[in-house]
Amino acid sequence: MNHEVERFEGELRQLREINEKFLNIYKHANAEKYAGVYFICGEAGEKDSMGLPEKILVCPAFGLDGISVYTKTSEYSAPGY
């Protein structure tokens, strides 16, 4: 293969990965349109200095009555450059 085709294939792979990530975000933001897609349906507790709540409430699929509660186990951290 020539270099131009290899470069194009690499760019195409990157675009596909980005598209899959955005599709995942879209599905979870529009859970009512997709079967079996979980979504964040609420929050509880105090918020930290970054605005993150102590707990988030997650519904396993649109239309279900139950939720799971996820608790923050560590403070927000970012790489120190």
15-56 tens-digit pLDDT = 999 999 999 999 999 999 999 999 999 999 999 999 999 999
* Mean pLDDT along residues 75-79: 88
76 in a structural domain: no
79 in a structural domain: no
Q: Is the pTM of this model over 0.75?
A: no
Helix (H) or strand (E) holding 20: helix 3-29
pLDDT for the residue 1? 62
Rounded CA gap, 24 and 37, in Å?
10
Rounded CA gap, 55 and 50, in Å?
14
Q: Give the domain range for residue 22.
A: 3-71
77 in a structural domain: no
How many distinct structural domains can be found in the chain? 1
62 in a structural domain: yes
81 in a structural domain: no
Output b/e per residue, 14-31; b: 16+ Cβ within 10 A: eeeeeeeeeeeeeeeeeb
Helix (H) or strand (E) holding 58: strand 53-59
